[in-house]
Amino acid sequence: MSNDAGRFDRQNDQKRDDQRQRKPLDPMNETGQQNQPPQWVRVLNVLLLAFVIFYLIELVSQSGSPEITYNEFKERVTAGQVAEVTIEGHQVTGTMSAAGDSDDPTGRQMFRTHIPEVGDTRIVELLEQNGVTITAKESGPDVLSRLMVSFLPWLIILGLIIFFWQRMQRQMGGQQSGGLFNMGKSKAKRFSRDEPGKTFNDIAGADNAKKDLTEIVDYLKNPAFYQRLGAKLPRGLLMVGPPGTGKTLMARAVAGEAAVPFFSISGSEFIEMFVGVGASRVRNMFEEARKESPSIIFIDELDAIGRSRGAGVGGGHDEREQTLNQILSEMDGFSPHETVVVIAATNRPDVLDPALLRPGRFDRKVTLDRPHRQAREKILEIHTKAMPLGDDVDLAAVSRRTVGFAGADLENLANEAALFAGRDDSKVVCMRHFDMARDKVLMGGKREQNLSDEEKRVIAFHESGHALTALLFPKADPLEKVTIIPRGRALGMTEQAPDEDRLNMSASYARDRIAVMLGGRASEQLIFNEVSSGAENDIEQATKLARRMIARWGMSEVIGPMSVSSSQEEVFLGHEISRERDFSEATAEKVDDEVRKLITGIEKEVNKRLEENRDQLERLANTLFEEETLEASDIDSLLDIEVRRDS
């Protein structure tokens, strides 16, 4: 494996050397934008340069007139060598007469001088006696002041324009896309082949998905080989799975394995308030990907722009549909030699437009399910690799108790365990930290709740009813823990952990699940002769499961193997309005009657078994009231073992 890795690195180095020889250095930073100062900085630099040039011109114009002393000035006036003067405050400028030119050793015609601060009232009389033309001006500001007065209003106006311009660009997203007139540029983040990325070795589980993606990786590594065989590169690949199962991570791993440029963007980033911006960004993104082919385009949350067209009332032609049309057009426009693969991820494949799923577009689908027990253990090993684990930590046991956890949930579990270890000032992460983290992930954090002894007693019997019912009904999931400590929105919790991952649900198992849900309410009715509002969620979940059994799974002799599903789960208003009801009111009433009979029949059986084991129920509830939390081992030692096997 090390030899293959070394050969793969040398191939990458050779590719990079070839690219450096073919292409000049690209003055782009890691975000894909040029290293240029903002627009307001460039405008300010231009204004400062103009200010300096104007100031230098004024200085040069003044330096052209030689300065003479005041005494010399009076002597030249008396000698008749001055033709005209301009008096402005204490400054006097003028020109020599023709007679004075011949006597002037420097040959300069212009001159300037300053009148003393005290002032000389006889200078005007002297000038008039010698026939000098006099021009008087009011004293004004100096050169710098005149420049400030001239330029300051324009600077303020331009500054306000630039400020509001930049603010409008930020609000409209123009700053990331290069300005208001560059809003059509793609916002896709580019990850080059030189950057270290994820590989399949960094992802545990999902072995079937890896096998499906290996073909794409091989094609991107050696497209000429497949083209010589007449094979065509798959245009699009759609990854489907629940949230947190690693769809985005898997796409990054494909790019890392193939060592090709990777363009990543979310579906919502195409849409702006201006019509046509999304389509323009799609064109720009595909154009950039073609320039660097072979490459990968990854569109996360494809359902944001790929929903069925014309689903709304009236079927409007909006910005989202234009963006979708452009994506469809671009995927059809690939030439055979353009090795660009489009990978998309969504957890709602049922809402996608059929045109996206036809052959030639996203015709290849990769399903990422929640990991099974062995996969969860491998995922935990990856996320705990950098953690100092205690000797009592059993990741296999943790994986058995985390049925239904996705990869993101397991990562969060490991992180929460490390945080709990930090709070305990522990040098290692112990098994109890994983137990505490699991309780927090499943039930939420503990909350302060001042409950009276009477309320705690009701909650204790309610949770004990759930726990004892789980022991009395043989098909129910094994009991894990019971607590009356308020967590999240719940005042108490009964945890069950199945022995294995269930992908199918039998009728007997579903009935026993409903029995456990109704156990808390039945316990309250038995002990206190009344029920409380604490069974609201239990009744809701039991009703949903019973309705699925009757209306969808054919577990009723009266309804039979017939689907009687309603349109409540329709995603679009247009589809819901246009959908016709495929069953009658009489059938709907029969479904309601069967659901009621199923739930009430199970409730009677639960009441009977709890009444037969009332002493066990009271013993469990009283102990739970005192201890507040009981593990499965504590409950087994507290109750008779025969109770668990009673059917």
For the chain, where do the domains classified as CATH 3.40.50.300 start and end? 183-367
SS3 for 136?
A: strand
pLDDT, mean of residues 586-598: 91
pLDDT band for position 145 (cuts 50, 70, 90) = low
* pLDDT at residue 106, as a whole number: 46
| Number of CB atoms found within 10 A of residue 555's CB | 21
Range with lowest mean pLDDT among 314-318, 396-400, 455-459, 504-508? 314-318
* pLDDT at residue 351, as a whole number: 83
Q: Does domain 183-367 have CATH number 3.40.50.2300?
A: no
Say which CATH topology domain 67-140 has: 3.30.720
Whether 561 has a binding-site annotation, put simply, is: no
* Most confidently modeled range among 132-146, 158-172, 298-312, 339-353: 339-353
Residues 609 and 474: their CA atoms lie apart, in Å, by 12
Whether 317 has a binding-site annotation, put simply, is: no
CATH number of 373-443: 1.10.8.60
Whether 248 has a binding-site annotation, put simply, is: yes
Percent of the chain surpassing pLDDT 70: 73
* pLDDT at residue 179, as a whole number: 45
pLDDT band for position 151 (cuts 50, 70, 90) = low
pLDDT band for position 160 (cuts 50, 70, 90) = confident
Give the tens place of pLDDT for each residue, 599-612: 999 999 999 999 99
pLDDT band for position 511 (cuts 50, 70, 90) = very high
Architecture of the 453-645 domain: Up-down Bundle (1.20)
Whether 462 has a binding-site annotation, put simply, is: yes
* pLDDT at residue 114, as a whole number: 75
pLDDT band for position 30 (cuts 50, 70, 90) = very low
* Most confidently modeled range among 26-30, 548-552, 632-636: 548-552
Give the tens place of pLDDT for each residue, 273-323: 555 567 777 888 888 888 887 888 888 888 888 877 765 544 444 667 777
pLDDT, mean of residues 17-45: 49
Q: Which residue has the higher pLDDT, 238 or 582?
A: 238
pLDDT, mean of residues 574-596: 75
pLDDT band for position 60 (cuts 50, 70, 90) = low
* Residue 579 confidence (pLDDT) above 60: no
Whether 178 has a binding-site annotation, put simply, is: no
Give me the chain's average pLDDT, please.
Answer: 76
For the chain, where do the domains classified as CATH 1.10.8.60 start and end? 373-443
Measured between alpha carbons, how far is residue 99 from residues 146, 177, 320 in Å? 36, 72, 87
* pLDDT at residue 306, as a whole number: 80
Whether 241 has a binding-site annotation, put simply, is: yes
Helix (H) or strand (E) holding 280: helix 277-291
Catalytic residue among 257, 269, 301, 463: 463
The tokens describing 558, both together, are: 């009266």
Residues 528 and 519: their CA atoms lie apart, in Å, by 14
Give the tens place of pLDDT for each residue, 323-350: 788 888 887 765 555 678 888 888 888 8
Give the tens place of pLDDT for each residue, 402-413: 888 888 889 999
* Most confidently modeled range among 13-27, 47-61, 493-507: 493-507
Supply the DSSP string of 572-624, one letter for each residue: -HHHHHHPPP-S-HHHHHHHHHHHHHHHHHHHHHHHHHHHHTHHHHHHHHHHH
Whether 247 has a binding-site annotation, put simply, is: yes
Predicted TM-score (pTM) of the model is 0.64
Residue 302's Cα: distance from chain center in Å? 14
* Residue 2 confidence (pLDDT) above 60: no
pLDDT, mean of residues 570-581: 50
Whether 114 has a binding-site annotation, put simply, is: no
* Residue 389 confidence (pLDDT) above 80: yes
Whether 378 has a binding-site annotation, put simply, is: no
Supply the DSSP string of 316-358, one letter for each residue: ---HHHHHHHHHHHHHHT--TT--EEEEEEES-GGGB-GGGSS
Catalytic annotation on 463? yes
* Residue 574 confidence (pLDDT) above 80: no
* pLDDT at residue 367, as a whole number: 86
SS3 for 72?
A: helix
* Residue 18 confidence (pLDDT) above 60: no
| Number of CB atoms found within 10 A of residue 249's CB | 16
- CB–CB of 298/216 below 8 Å? no
Supply the DSSP string of 157-181, one letter for each residue: HHHHHHHHHHHHHHHTTTTTTTSGG
Residues 276 and 322: their CA atoms lie apart, in Å, by 7
pLDDT, mean of residues 197-204: 77
- Of the chain, the end-to-end C-alpha distance in Å amounts to 56
pLDDT, mean of residues 258-272: 77
pLDDT band for position 262 (cuts 50, 70, 90) = confident
For the chain, where do the domains classified as CATH 3.30.720.210 start and end? 67-140
Percent of the chain surpassing pLDDT 90: 17
Q: Half-sphere exposure of 544 toward its Cβ, with a 13 Å CA cutoff?
A: 8
* pLDDT at residue 508, as a whole number: 92
* pLDDT at residue 500, as a whole number: 67
* Most confidently modeled range among 156-170, 171-185, 470-484, 498-512: 470-484
Laid out side by side, the sheet with 189-191 consists of: 189-191, 262-266, 295-300, 340-346, 236-240, 364-367
SS3 for 375?
A: helix
